[in-house]
A and B are shown apart, each in its own frame.
Chain A
């Protein structure tokens, strides 16, 4: 599957270069097109152009596939190993699906400015760079690129106070967490003199978990507490970005207020990239300091799962419900992150891929259903708007039910499999109490998923809400997703194989 003429082995960042240059071209193209004809609606064509660009960059990522295990260029600041390859592919394909799904939404909500697509592409560029970054500076710049695009995406609807409100909240909190990241990385630079992940790994090679002599010894040559201090800042800033309790308070407001297509993007795509960065920093470079932040992450995990399960019980709006479910899911992913074994990295990646995929399915259903008698002119769905979807759109309701059972982690679906994998790694590291609490809270969380199914099928009202029919192309995509979803349970081997290979690479220190 390799096209030899497109192979530039020396330029490892060819996909990002392509994406960046085509973005610049697109900006110019759209601006001139818009100005010349007095601001026409070029939204659709820009969307398809964006899809084309994304598809080609994914193709370039695939094409540049790896002959060697790891390749680092540009003064060791960019690395192209299996982890970046895999995550770039996943993020690229997810964004591709996102773009295709939000097209009817953009038309119906009259989001007419063409920059929407460009901002999404900028965010994807930032995520690509984040996945393959090998030092703190590149990571910070990539985070900034992605976050800035997201801030504007959140506040895109200028005449709605909810949207602008969400954008401001997101901006302030995102800037705050980026500044924490910068502070942490400056401390790390101050202590070690380098910002490269490889060099961190080499510097701390005699520090490993359990080696208390080096860390706590009074007469040691080097006191590591400032390194731990800096690491805490970086950790907290990344947890802020993932919306994990107790740093989750911005998430419901921001997700509720932004236009649904932006929320779609926020909750599906960036989590994988931020986890990649977390993996690189905390498992690759600084694995020796594992013991110092492990208990902290366990507390955060338990809090997230409790908040996510109990917070979602009170919600009456669909978007807030999905936000709380994503908070609890990030908690489960962090269980695997805090276990510290080789399998835990593997299961973490599997969990994230399945989470992103099922998030994609749920949100596409959410976006594609548009109320017909929208005399209240509201843009977000309450729970009761889904009533009797089982009667009006039969197959969509079945799809929704299936995906909901997978999100809840209920047996015959792939969500169950990855959830028990995560718990398996926790049991392997003897974190029994955490697993017990989290599994009990997951039962509590199952309640609001079942409530959604109840609303879909069981309600006693005679007439449900009417929806516009879904376009052909979107329904083809959704059916494709459904079949892929069912297939994943029958044969999840590919997923496990890929994640195994990746965890072999990342865990040089484990």
Chain B
């Protein structure tokens, strides 16, 4: 079989090459633009599948590593590599981007070329975040993701409050991240380099650890998002176009938890143990509060946005339980949330394309006219609740088991929060799918076409596989998480 040594840098650079090629094509030939973008992103996905195939499951170190020189004087170099944890995030990214491009096939009328270029550039930055092994570059890519997202929300969002949403999104995240920048500079000053593998061998004093952990927390907490700083999420999700919401919910929210796993845990273990009760408290408040809030919403997308907050806070509970079960549950729940939340946003997008409104009160009785759509909707609603047989159940179960070992009260409260999740999800589904058709608002109904079905199919399959046989995914993560937990307790 083919084994390319530099496959990771190929995956990294391919979207950028695609964007570059796209910039030369005149913006009037829409089909050519779309097909080139789609081909490029599908090629990236296929290459990343190759990454999975050739991944060595019995080793816990970084594989496919490469090193590039950037500024040798200042000892800043760019090294990339993956291990079990980042592998699946990269796969998630490269899977979701073609789906997003497919989802916006007909809906984007103006400035299609800029749209496609922003998505491809964002894919480059996202893959860069997940595969970089250098703290400074992590920060650079982490922040650079904001630029294309800002443009996407602002230019192609729905018209009402998009500018405000774009500002919220940008400035909230930036404010949190600058503290992280200071910590990175301090680390660079102390250690002399920002290379991850060197940083792992360095240990900081407890006071330094606590302060720097808090700075990193400020940055990642706005991305997760945790409760006091979650205000950007409903705004950004509601105002973004469909594909923007998909990528936001699917990948961008995982940046926070990935940052925690990759950087906070190994570099500041004592501070993590010290602050664990604080994180638990905030996560539990997040789960319960957002679940209750979601019940009251009247905007379809806002409900799903609040469920995203709740699920990601559950992931945080799982992360800070500091045992292998909780950690693997957290990673799996992140992945399945990536599938499920993206699918839910796509579901909204289908209906929004037809009727151009997101208010729940205008929809009813869709099962009569759009049965396949309702089937898909039912499946993803059930996985949102955490029905056994879907990936969310596995994730939640593992998380609750892991955190049960750490703290039973927290487990009890978060499980209660998850039950409330069932409440609003079922109610939402009920209102939209069953009942009578509201013909006084809409006259024409159209079921989903082949393109839209093809969008949902991989997500459906992924969730199902993750629910029935999660070992496919967990096999690769075992070693890395084991090493991580060992390292923390060491």
Contacts and interface: CB of A to CB of B under 8 A. Distances in A.
Give yes or no for direct A-B contact (beta carbon below 8 Å).
yes
A428 B113 CA distance: 45
Interface residues on B, range: 20 to 34
B181 interface: yes
**Lowest 8 A-B CB distances belong to which pairs?**
A411-B143, A458-B154, A412-B144, A411-B140, A439-B178, A411-B144, A424-B185, A496-B73
Interface residues of A, number: 32
Contact of B140 (A412, A443, A453): A412
26 contacts: A405-B147, A410-B143, A410-B147, A410-B174, A411-B139, A411-B143, A412-B140, A412-B144, A416-B140, A420-B136, A436-B182, A439-B179, A439-B181, A443-B175, A447-B171, A450-B150, A454-B154, A454-B163, A454-B166, A457-B151, A458-B155, A458-B162, A492-B71, A493-B71, A493-B73, A496-B71
Nearest to A424: B185
Contact of A427 (B147, B150, B167, B186): B186
B212 to A, nearest CB: 12
Contacts of A266: none
Contacts of A460: 159
Contacts of B71: 492-493, 496
A423 B182 CA distance: 8
Nearest to B74: A496
B189 interface: yes
A60 interface: no
Contacts of A496: 71, 73-74
A423 B188 contact: no
Contacts of B175: 440, 443
Contact of A446 (B171, B181, B189): B171
Interface string B51-88: 00000000000000000001111100000000000000
A458 to B, nearest CB: 4
Given A447-B171, A493-B72, A496-B74, A442 B163 contact: no
A454 B167 CA distance: 9
B292 interface: no
B289 interface: no
Nearest to B184: A420
> From DSSP, what is the main secondary structure of chain B's interface residues?
helix
Contacts of B72: 493
Nearest to B140: A411
Given A411-B143, A439-B181, 11 more contacts: A411-B144, A412-B141, A420-B185, A421-B74, A427-B185, A439-B182, A440-B175, A443-B174, A458-B154, A458-B162, A491-B70
B174 A457 contact: no
Interface in B148-180: 150-151, 154-155, 159, 162-163, 166-167, 170-171, 174-175, 178-179
B184 to A, nearest CB: 8
Nearest to A402: B147
B166 A458 contact: yes
Contacts of B155: 457-458
Contact of A435 (B125, B150, B182): B182
Contacts of A493: 71-73
A457 B182 CA distance: 32
A412 B138 CA distance: 11
Contacts of B70: 491
Nearest to A411: B143
Contacts of A55: none
Contacts of A453: 150
Contacts of A458: 154-155, 162-163, 166
A500 interface: yes
Nearest to A457: B155
A384 to B, nearest CB: 14
A52 interface: no
A457 B154 contact: yes
A420 B181 contact: yes
Interface string A400-417: 000001000011100010
B317 to A, nearest CB: 30
Interface in B19-40: none
Contacts of A428: 189
A420 B188 CA distance: 11
Interface string A436-467: 10011011001100100110011010000000
Contacts of B73: 493, 496-497, 500
Nearest to B110: A391
A416 B140 CA distance: 9
B188 A424 contact: yes
Contacts of A432: 182
A453 B182 CA distance: 26
Interface in B119-154: 125, 136, 139-141, 143-144, 147, 150-151, 154
Nearest to B159: A460
Contacts of B188: 424
Nearest to A458: B154
B101 to A, nearest CB: 21
Contacts of A405: 147
A494 to B, nearest CB: 10
B373 to A, nearest CB: 32
B123 to A, nearest CB: 14
Contacts of A412: 125, 140-141, 144, 147
Contacts of B189: 424, 427-428
Contacts of A436: 182
Contacts of B143: 410-411
A436 B147 CA distance: 24
A443 B146 CA distance: 14
Interface string A225-258: 0000000000000000000000000000000000
B475 to A, nearest CB: 35
Given A411-B144, A412-B140, A450 B185 contact: no
A458 B152 CA distance: 10
B217 to A, nearest CB: 16
Nearest to A426: B185
Contacts of A443: 171, 174-175, 178
Contacts of B179: 439
B71 to A, nearest CB: 6
